[in-house]
Structure 1
C-alpha cells in the first residue's frame, strides 16, 4: 500500500513537471505568435492583446480560473484562442468555448480558421447552435403531409432539395411553419428507433459529434450550463466530458444564463395539460379521477383569479407612474393554494399507484407525465413555504389569467454558478468580456467586485487580470456631451420627454442624422418616436417586434443619414462601423427597473443602490456606449440626455460612472461638441488634437 502510494505520488510529480514544461513551450509559441508571426502577417502589435494572452497561458499552466475584461478592439478572441490552439496541438483534447449569441459563435469559427492558417494546425471545429435552428425531417414530413396549400407545398419542394437550417433555403419560411418542422425536443432513443432520416440528419450527427469530438466546440452558455448541471447530477451529458478548458465569452451574461437554467415556469395552460394527461392515463387503466379533477380546477381557477387581480393592481400603479413592468411581484398569500397543492398530491398518488399495479400498462412509458405531476406539486409546495428559498414572480404571455406565467428560481444563483463553473477540478474556466467591471478606480479589483459577487468567482484559486483597455484612440475620436438642468427622468417624466425631444433634435442637427438612440423603456421610445419623426428631415427608424433586428439594422446602414431608436438587445447586440453610426444618444441612465430579482439582490446588501443598482446600470451603459466606436477609423459623439451625470448633479454615483467609461473626453458645452464633430467629419484630426492641448 505504501509502495503504491509512493509510485502514485512519483507519477503525479512527473506529470506535473511535464505539464509545466509543455506550458513553458506553449508560452514561447504564444510569445512568438504575437511578437513575430502575427506582425509579419500584417496584424497590428496590440500590447493589451498579447498581455491578455500571456496571462491566460499562465492561468492555464497553473490551472487557475481567470477573469479578464478586454475593451473593444483588443482582439480578445485571438488572445484566448492562440494559447488554446497551441495547447490543443500538444494534447489533442477537446476545448469548449461558450458565448451568448450565434453571431459571436460564427465570428469565432472564422477567427479560429484565420489562426489555423497562420499556425498551420487544423483541429475540428464543432459549431453547436440550439436545436430549434435545425430541420427535423420526421416532423417536417408529418406536417406537410396534411397541407394542401400551394404556397406551403412550394416550401416543402425547396426543403426537399436539401439543407439543415433555416438560412439554407432562399425561400421565405414563416416562423409559424418553421416551429412545426424544426427540432423541438431531441430524443436520441426515439430517433434511433423510429426515424428513417437519422442516418443523414444533421442534428442527430451533431449531437453524436458533441459527445465524441476531440476538437473545439463552439456552443452557447445555455447549452454549457445545462451540460454542467447534468454532470453534477450524474446524468448523461450532451458534450464530451474530456475537456480541460472552458472559455466563457461575453461573461457578463453568465449570471443571467445560469439563473434561466434554474428557472421553472408554469402557466394555466401547461398545468391544465399536465392534469389532463393524468386523466387520460387513469381512463386507460379503467379508473376515473374526474371528481378529483373537478376539485382541482376549482382551486386552480381561484388561484389564477387571485394572480390576475395582482397583475391588474400592479398595472394600474405602473400606469400612474409611467413605467413598464417586465416581471410582476407575487403575493404568495393565496387562500386556495393549499387546496390546489393537496389536489395535485391526491391525483399523483392515485394515478401512480394504479399504474404500478396494472400489468397491462407496465410496458407503457408514462414517466414524463407522472414526473410533470410531481414537479407541479413541488412548485406549489415551494410557494407555500413560510421561509421561501426561491424568488417568485409573474410575467404575461397573453391576456387574462390564462396569459399569466408563474416563475421561480433559487435565490443563491451565485453559489450555483460557483458549483458549476469553478468547483470541478477536471477543468479550468476562462472568463472574458468587454463589459465586466463596473467602475475602475486605483484598485482595479474593486471594479470586478459586482461580477465576483454574482458568480462567486473563487478569489483564492483564481486570477483577476487587470482590465485591458481598448487600443482605439477615444480621446481623439470621441467625446461625450452631457446635459445640465434637465428635469428628472422619473419624477418629472412628462417634462423630461418634452425637453428630451428638443435636445435630441439639436444633437441630430450636428451629425445630420447618422444616430442610434438607446432607451430603457419602450414607452419612452414610442413617445420620442412620435415627437421626433415630424421634426427632423431624416428617416426615423424604430425597433419593431414584427421585424428582425438584422433587417432593421440593414435599413439603418443603407440610409446613412437615418436615425434608429432601440431598446433591450440594441444596447449590446449590434455593431455598425462607419459614419452611419457616428452619433450615439443615451436617453436615460439604464438603471434596472424594480422587480423581484433585483429587489432580492438589493435586500441582502448594506447599500443596494451602490452595490447592485449602480453596477448594473454602469455595465449596461458601457455596453451601450460601446456601440459607437467599432473600428480604428470610427469616430463620433455620445450624448447623455440624463442630467444625473452633470456637474450640478448631487448623485453619489456620478464619479463611478465617469471612471468606468472608456471615453474620458467630455463636455456640457453644446458648441464644443458641435465643433468637435465637425472637425472630425471634415478629416481635420490634427485640429482636434491641437484643440485638446489648448483646453
Structure 2
C-alpha cells in the first residue's frame, strides 16, 4: 500500500475512520517519514497545529517492517498515544503489530520495597500507614503494577517513594522478587513488541547509561521517532550531566537505619554513621536561603560556610562508605547500600570541583532539600555520535522547531548533521479564525505599572468574552500570583490558578466551566489542547526570554561569548521564539475555532528582533488597537 493513497478522500483511513479529514500537509509528512524509515535517514519536521502529525508518523511506522520507538514529551502524551491514537490506527492498518508502553521504574510497584514498607509500617506516620493500606489492596488486583492506576492517591503521595524503586536502591537480579518484578515484565514486553512508546526522560536516562535493561531496546530498533522534539536539547543536557540531592542521601541513610534495626542489629556503627550523615545534611540545608531558589553553584561555593558544610557532608558520607565496606557480604541490601554510598561520594566530590570548563554548575533548593547539578553546555558530540553509530532512521517532529524556516538552532544543539527538513504550515485559516493584538501604550515589561496594566487588559477581555474561556500565560510565578490575587477581587468569573490542583484536574475544570479564566506558567504554554468556545482568548504577559540569572542560560551565554558568537542571537532569541510559538499555539486547535491572541509586550513591535518573533507566528491579522480585539471577541457566535 502506497502511503500517499492511504490519506486520500477515498483512501483506507477515510473508509475506516468516520471523522478522518484528508490534509495535504499530513500526506506530505507521512510520505517523507516513510522514505526516511525505508532509507534509514534523519528527518526533522516542523508540523504546525492542525497538520495531524500523530497519524502522519504512526501510519508509515505501522506499515513498514521496522521495529520502532516513539518517544513523547510527557507521560500524559505517552499514555494518550498508547491508549487512544495508536490502537485506533493499528487496528485499521496493522492489527498483527504488537505495541508496548514502557515507563520509568518509578511508575511501577516494587514488590520487594512494598514488603519492606509493610514489615516496618509501625515506624510510619498514621497518614502513611493509611496510604499503604490502599496500596496493598490495589497490589492484590493489579496486572501490570502501574501505580498510575491507584486513583485514590495523589500523584505526589508520600507513600510512593516507599513502594517504588530507583536506580540506586534496585537490587536487580539479586532481588528475591525479581521473577515477579513488574518493571522486568514491562521491559520484556517492550523487547518483544514491534512499536514501543516511551517518553524523552526515559529515553535519555537509558542513553546516558543511568538505567539498566532499557538499553537492550535502542540497539534493537530500526526507527526512532521523537514527538515534541523541541524539548530534546534541554532534556539531553540534564541526562548527560550529573546531580546529587540531599533527598537521595537522606533516603539512603534512613533505609540503612531501618536495616540496622531489623537485619543487622549488631552493626551499631551503621546506625551511628547514618545519624551523622543525616545531621550534616540538616546543617547543609541551613547554609542556603529558606525560600526555594536556583543559583550558580560555581559562585555560591566560594562562601566559607558553604565549603565547610559541604566538607562535613563528604566526611560523614566517607565514614558511611567505610562502615559499609567492612560489612560487605553480610546482607544484599548492605552491599547495595555500599555501592550507592560510594557512587554518591564520587559524584559529591566531582561536584565540588567547579573549575572544570564545558559545564554549568548550578543548584536548586526546595524547603527541605538541595540538589547540585553539573550540566554539559554541549551535547551535540555525544548525541550526534550516537545517531551516526546507530544506523537507524531518526525522525524529529514538533509544532515548534524552526525560527522562521531556519532549523539550524535545533539541529546544531543535537549534533544532527546528515539531515533533511520539512516545514509544514497549519491548514487552519488564521486570516479568518484569529487576530493578533499588541496593545498600544502599555508600560515596558520591567516597569512597576505593568501588573496593573495587564490586569486592565484582562478585565476588559473578560467583560466581552462572557461565553468563552481565557488563558493568561505568564513567564514568572511571581507575576502570576500577584495578578491572581488582584483578579479575584475584580471578577466573579471562576479562576483556575496553576498550583492549586493538578494540571490535569485544572484543565478538566476549566473546560467544564466553559467560560473560565486559567492562569498558568511554563507547563501550560505547551501540550495543552482546548478546542471550541472553552478557549477564545490567549493573553501572554511578555516575550518568554529565559530569566538572565538562570544558571544554564548564563553558562551557555558565556560559552557563546567565548567562541566569538552573539549570545543573544545564538542562544536567547531562538529559545524565546520557540517558546512564544508554543504559547500562541494554544489558541486555534480546530478548523472551527475562533479567537484572539494578545501579547502585552511592546518589544514585539518596537525592537528589531520583534520581526523574528512575528515571522514565526501564524499569519493572522495584526492590530495595535485593543478595542479592535475586543470587538472581534464580542462578535464571536457561540458554537
Q: Tell whether the 8 Å contact from 1:38 to 1:44 is kept in structure 2 after alignment.
A: no
Deviation string, structure 1 residues 205-257 (Cα, Å, up to 9, x no partner): 112222x31410001112222223339x9988252632111001110011122
Unaligned 5+ runs, structure 2: none
Give yes or no for the alignment of 1:68 onto 2:22. no
Give yes or no for the alignment of 1:50 onto 2:17. no
Report the aligned-residue RMSD.
3.9
Aligned length: 614
Q: Tell whether the 8 Å contact from 1:227 to 1:239 is kept in structure 2 after alignment.
A: no
Tell me which of 610, 614, 617 is aligned to 1:654: 610
Deviation string, structure 1 residues 20-60 (Cα, Å, up to 9, x no partner): xxxxxxxx621221233234445222111111112222222
| CA gap 1:195/1:32 in 2 versus in 1, 3 angstroms | same
Alignment of 1:95-494 (within 5 A): 95-109=68-82, 110-144=84-118, 146=121, 153=133, 156-157=136-137, 159-162=139-142, 164-169=145-150, 171-172=152-153, 175-185=157-167, 190=172, 193-195=175-177, 198-199=179-180, 202-210=182-190, 212-230=191-209, 237-239=215-217, 241-268=219-246, 270-271=248-249, 308=288, 311=289, 325-331=293-299, 332-334=301-303, 337=307, 355=325, 366=335, 369-370=338-339, 372-373=341-342, 375-381=344-350, 383-384=352-353, 386-398=355-367, 403-420=369-386, 422-438=387-403, 440=404, 444=405, 447-458=406-417, 461-465=418-422, 467-490=423-446, 492=447, 494=448
Q: Specify the alignment match of 2:489 in structure 1.
A: 534
Deviation string, structure 1 residues 644-670 (Cα, Å, up to 9, x no partner): 223xx1x12110011000142111123
Tell me which of 516, 521, 531 is aligned to 2:476: 521
| CA gap 1:284/1:182 in 2 versus in 1, 3 angstroms | closer
| CA gap 1:179/1:188 in 2 versus in 1, 3 angstroms | closer
Q: In structure 2, how many angstroms separate the alpha carbons of the residues matched to 1:682 and 1:618?
A: 32
Instruction: Normalising by structure 1, report the TM-score.
Output: 0.78
Q: In structure 2, how many angstroms separate the alpha carbons of the residues matched to 1:298 and 1:136?
A: 29
**Displacement after TM superposition at 1:371 (Å):** 5.6
Deviation string, structure 1 residues 48-107 (Cα, Å, up to 9, x no partner): 11111122222223322111100111111111112111212xxxx521111111232233
| CA gap 1:538/1:644 in 2 versus in 1, 3 angstroms | same
The DSSP-based 3-state class of the residue aligned with 2:388 is coil
Give yes or no for the alignment of 1:33 onto 2:2. no
Give yes or no for the alignment of 1:640 onto 2:606. no
Q: Tell whether the 8 Å contact from 2:543 to 2:580 is kept in structure 1 after alignment.
A: yes
Unaligned 5+ runs, structure 1: 1-27, 316-323, 684-695
The DSSP-based 3-state class of the residue aligned with 1:123 is coil
| CA gap 1:288/1:661 in 2 versus in 1, 3 angstroms | same
Q: Specify the alignment match of 2:460 in structure 1.
A: 506
| CA gap 1:302/1:581 in 2 versus in 1, 3 angstroms | closer
Q: Tell whether the 8 Å contact from 2:224 to 2:394 is kept in structure 1 after alignment.
A: yes
Q: Tell whether the 8 Å contact from 1:329 to 1:394 is kept in structure 2 after alignment.
A: yes
Deviation string, structure 1 residues 134-182 (Cα, Å, up to 9, x no partner): 3334433443463687786466445534453345355456712344334
Alignment of 1:465-614 (within 5 A): 465=422, 467-490=423-446, 492=447, 494-512=448-466, 514-545=469-500, 547-594=501-548, 595-605=550-560, 606-614=565-573
Deviation string, structure 1 residues 536-581 (Cα, Å, up to 9, x no partner): 2312221125x11111111111211221111121111321111011
Q: Tell whether the 8 Å contact from 2:284 to 2:313 is kept in structure 1 after alignment.
A: no
Q: Tell whether the 8 Å contact from 1:140 to 1:180 is kept in structure 2 after alignment.
A: yes
Q: Tell whether the 8 Å contact from 1:328 to 1:395 is kept in structure 2 after alignment.
A: no
Instruction: Normalising by structure 2, report the TM-score.
Output: 0.84
Q: In structure 1, how many angstroms separate the alpha carbons of the residues matched to 2:175 and 2:328?
A: 24
Deviation string, structure 1 residues 405-462 (Cα, Å, up to 9, x no partner): 2221222223332233x22233221100111112x1xxx3xx212112221221xx22
Q: In structure 2, how many angstroms separate the alpha carbons of the residues matched to 1:102 and 1:343?
A: 35
Q: Tell whether the 8 Å contact from 1:337 to 1:384 is kept in structure 2 after alignment.
A: no
Q: Tell whether the 8 Å contact from 2:253 to 2:275 is kept in structure 1 after alignment.
A: no
Q: Specify the alignment match of 2:628 in structure 1.
A: 672
Q: In structure 1, how many angstroms separate the alpha carbons of the residues matched to 2:332 and 2:163?
A: 29
Q: In structure 1, how many angstroms separate the alpha carbons of the residues matched to 2:153 and 2:328?
A: 50
Q: In structure 2, how many angstroms separate the alpha carbons of the residues matched to 1:73 and 1:111?
A: 15
